[in-house]
């Protein structure tokens, strides 16, 4: 077992701050596995410091003089990730004007860190599995097998076993990657490490900008340790730098600190971007998000129209089908409470219906008896569909322009993944200047 002195030496060498038992255990596993060539899978939340562990493993290994490269699998579009990792030959696809070496060739003899491995497409996972098994791969468009001697360290912030059950991740690849698992603890579980990291960040930032670092009162320290930090170390660093530059008073009370801590810690919803580094993207506020929700609702209504029209055209008894369908239960049951009309003597008798939801609704019984009055609404749904596509395209173009055609920031502002944005750009034939 690695002793405390060895762990502290590694902390000093690689700039690791903290003394939490869970952190020390993770470091001891990394130190033990580093001299080997075993594949390592690092598990931890986003912002918890997984990449630092990959650098520790490489720096303590026999490959430390070889190349090291960190790849974010979620940031590479699905259509180009194979070329990026394994290379391609000239003419293998449109735009391949010359041969290109992939990362597994350029890092031969070193270490490659694959972050967000769960975002890797299934086809690329199969290629990676072959490298892990026998060190072989084939560049895109080639028939020639190449060999590589690269150590793979992977990381993920999702439950890969759940991804396997959903068919989103290969089980055989999981067991190849998970030879030695390392779990990086989230910041909220590291106790007094939060205070130590805050002091480190504010001191470094103050020294860099030639200002005096701030200090926390005891109440502020307790408040800081109690905060859950969903963004982990990255979020703590941002808060420390904001306070250091914005507050004139160098003694930070709990009341001052509370202004910089988000009020809702439990929300798992994506936050609106409010960082000035994205420039005009601040314009994407509630209005754009509301438009997106309305477009999604309109699409659902269009799909429902198509379904009802299809059932009516095929002669399905809608009244019996709807009464049996749990989907319409909440719509039908309240109508039972309305009393039926009791005719008096000599009063004309009219058909009795449940109270309609709207004056514009068609009575199902009348419709079933008079099919020649069917109105073909297929053209209407097609037009609405085209309108939805137009609106979606306009929002994508607007996001791209406001982010200076940086797909990463455009995808964040639209609330979609970068891979989905890349697919939409190709679908709508949008000229991307990035």
State the pLDDT at residue 296: 66
d(CA 328, CA 335): 12
State the pLDDT at residue 60: 97
298-305 long-range contacts, Cβ below 8 Å, gap at least 24? 298/384, 298/388, 299/385, 299/388, 302/381, 302/384, 302/385, 302/388, 305/377, 305/380, 305/381
State the pLDDT at residue 265: 57
State the pLDDT at residue 116: 95
State the pLDDT at residue 269: 39
State the pLDDT at residue 126: 95
Percent of the chain with pLDDT over 70: 72
- Using pLDDT thresholds of 50, 70 and 90, give the confidence band for residue 419: confident
b/e code 18-40 from CB counts within 10 Å (16+ = b)? bebebbbebbbbbbebbeeeebb
Q: What is the mean pLDDT of the chain?
A: 80
Q: Which two tokens stand for residue 146?
A: 């190449």
State the pLDDT at residue 383: 52
229-270 pLDDT, tens digit each: 999 999 999 999 999 999 999 999 999 999 999 886 543 434
State the pLDDT at residue 410: 81
152-181 pLDDT, tens digit each: 999 999 999 999 999 999 999 999 999 999
15-43 pLDDT, tens digit each: 999 999 999 999 999 999 999 999 999 99
pLDDT at residue 326 greater than cutoff 80: no
Angle at 302 between CA 296 and CA 308, to 5 degrees: 140
pLDDT at residue 357 greater than cutoff 50: no
State the pLDDT at residue 54: 97
The domains of the chain, with CATH numbers, are 4-185 (3.40.50.300), 188-269 (1.10.8.60)
Angle at 113 between CA 111 and CA 118, to 5 degrees: 145
CB 234 within 8 A of CB 199: no
**Integer angstrom CA distances of residue 243 from 161, 205, 222, 239, 346:** 40, 10, 17, 6, 84
The pLDDT of 213-236, averaged and rounded, is 94
- Using pLDDT thresholds of 50, 70 and 90, give the confidence band for residue 432: low
State the pLDDT at residue 293: 63
State the pLDDT at residue 394: 82
pLDDT at residue 331 greater than cutoff 90: no
54-92 pLDDT, tens digit each: 999 999 999 999 999 999 999 999 889 999 999 999 888
State the pLDDT at residue 351: 45
């Amino acid at each position: 077992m690695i002793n405390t002195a060895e762990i502290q030496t590694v902390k000093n060498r690689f700039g690791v701050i903290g003394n939490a038992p869970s952190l020390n255990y993770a470091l001891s596993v990394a130190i033990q596995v580093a001299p080997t060539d075993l594949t390592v899978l690092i598990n931890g939340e986003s912002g918890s410091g997984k990449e630092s562990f990959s650098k520790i493993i490489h720096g303590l290994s026999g490959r430390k003089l070889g190349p090291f490269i960190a790849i974010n699998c979620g940031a590479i579009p699905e259509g180009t990730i194979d070329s990026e990792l394994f290379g391609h030959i000239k003419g293998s696809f449109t735009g391949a004007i010359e041969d290109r070496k992939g990362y597994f060739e350029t890092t031969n003899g070193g270490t490659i860190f694959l972050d967000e491995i769960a975002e890797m497409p299934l086809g690329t996972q199969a290629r990676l599995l072959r490298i892990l098994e026998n060190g072989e791969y084939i560049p895109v468009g080639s028939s020639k097998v190449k060999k590589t001697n690269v150590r793979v360290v992977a990381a993920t912030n999702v439950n890969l076993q759940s991804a396997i059950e959903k068919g989103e991740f290969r089980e055989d690849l999981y067991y190849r990657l998970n030879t030695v698992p390392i779990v990086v603890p989230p910041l909220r579980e590291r106790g007094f490490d939060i205070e130590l990291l805050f002091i480190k960040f504010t001191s470094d930032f103050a020294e860099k900008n030639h200002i005096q670092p701030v200090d926390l009162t005891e109440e502020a320290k307790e408040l800081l340790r109690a905060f859950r930090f969903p963004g982990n170390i990255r979020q703590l660093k941002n808060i420390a730098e904001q306070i250091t530059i914005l507050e004139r008073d160098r003694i930070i009370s709990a009341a001052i600190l509370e202004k910089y801590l988000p009020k809702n810690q439990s929300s798992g919803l994506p936050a609106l971007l409010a960082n000035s580094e994205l420039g005009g993207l601040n314009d994407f506020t509630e209005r754009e998000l509301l438009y997106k929700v309305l477009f999604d609702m309109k699409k659902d209504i269009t799909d429902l129209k198509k379904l009802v029209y299809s059932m009516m055209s095929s002669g399905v008894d809608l009244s019996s089908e709807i009464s049996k369908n749990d989907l319409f239960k909440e719509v039908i049951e309240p109508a039972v409470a309305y009393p039926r009309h009791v005719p008096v003597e000599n009063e004309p008798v009219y058909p009795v219906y449940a109270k309609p939801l709207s004056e514009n609704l068609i009575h199902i019984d009348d419709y079933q008896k008079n099919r020649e009055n069917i109105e073909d609404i297929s053209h209407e749904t097609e037009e609405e569909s085209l309108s939805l596509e137009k609106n979606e395209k306009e929002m994508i173009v607007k996001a791209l322009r406001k982010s200076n055609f940086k797909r990463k920031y455009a995808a964040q502002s639209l609330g979609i993944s970068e891979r989905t944005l890349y697919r939409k750009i190709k679908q709508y034939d949008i000229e991307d200047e990035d």
